[in-house]
Amino acid sequence: MPFEFILFIAMVGVFVVCAFAIKLPVSLSMLAASVAGLLVSGNGLGIRHLVEGTFGYVDTILVIATAMIFMRAVQESGALDALNIVIIKRFKSIPALLLPMLMLVAMFPGMITGSSSASVLTAGAVVAPVLILLGLPVAKAGAFIALAGILGMIAPPVNIPAMIIGGGIDMPFVGFELPLLLLTIPPAIVFALVLGLKHVKKVSWEEIAPKLEVETYKRYGPRLFIPILVVATLMVLGKTVPKYFGMGLPLMFLIGAALALFAGKRFNPLVAAKAAVADALPVLGILAGVGMFIQVMTLTGVRGFIVVNALSVPPVMLYVAIAVTIPLFGAVSSFGASSVLGVPFLLALLGKNQIVTAAALSLIASLGDFMPPTALSAIFAAQVVGIKKYSKVLKYLIIPSIVILAWALVFIAYSKQIAALY
């Protein structure tokens, strides 16, 4: 039995024991697994490698931290409620348009922060009461915002799993926007209509208004959207005119957060920033742990061992392995699944278009947020809609998960043809 395989089993074993048996946070479990890999391989504690690994995703950590601050500022200013108000007033009589628009609103925080939990707990909490009022069963409303959570997490401009997978082979997060839109927006529209269209009933604005902060929108009006529009404009200019506007996402998000102070309701920026960073800390810790884990796998030859063996697997079995192992490992952490399995699988698929393939693998990794026992998106969605047993929400996510998995595998199989279309 190859020593690298024994080492890999030791690292994953320590990780599983720490995460499930001892109930340590995922970040600390990653740290323990990395230390175990160093010790078993004879590299001692290897503090230098742990530190280097921690800083492996420092750019992504900055993006997430600043994105969470921006999202909190937008929420505190009243812009999220205002977005809901505008959409509902405009489309309340056209359910076939209203539901996809509400899905996009629920996805928005995940698109900005790269966190499914952020989507469910912020915009999802705003959208859910409206969905229930429109006639959706409570469990289906929970499934609606849970799906919005993972699709928002994968949609551009911020996709942490894709950043992790790309970072594992030194591929910059550039050119992902269109593949990620193709992977997320069509399923988002389909799921919104399938889950809600047959249940939607006609309701008056007077029934919906109490669920939203109408007074804030009446007072500040469209100016509430200035921070969002400025950040979106800077993102576009950063891609089209990088010489003059290539300032990076962290600075763009901080500019948007500063503008939110003057666009709507007054709030304490220090309190909001502190709360945002506190919410982001679990994700930031996971990224630091993922960096250490990959560093140790690379140092000890485990990563190369996995890639070499993955290359020898028949293509059909490789797709089966991707479909089974990544979501199951994602039950602990979709970010962990992206690093431990997403990177080797991407290397095993070098004959494919790497951007489209990495984007599709990130979508498969996101399904880990539906996998028991953690099932973060489903659990938070159940809490938001007031259901004690998240299994009631989870049963409506089984078929969408299969569809998402099949959709992503099609993108991998035909990545070159899809890349040729744009």
Task: Report the predicted TM-score, pTM, of the whole model to 2 decimal places.
Answer: 0.84
pLDDT of residue 200: 87
Domain residue limits at 106: 3-419
pLDDT of residue 34: 93
Write the pLDDT tens digit of every residue in 178-204. 999 999 999 999 999 999 999 888 777
Residues of the chain with pLDDT under 50: none
Check residue 280 and give its pLDDT: 84
Tell me the torsion sign for CA atoms 316, 318, 319, 325. positive
In the chain, the number of structural domains is 1
List the one residue out of 240, 241, 262, 238 whose CA is nearest residue 251.
Answer: 238
pLDDT at 349: 86
314 by Cβ neighbours in 10 Å (0-12 / 13-18 / 19+) ranks as exposed
Q: What is the reported pLDDT for 287?
A: 83
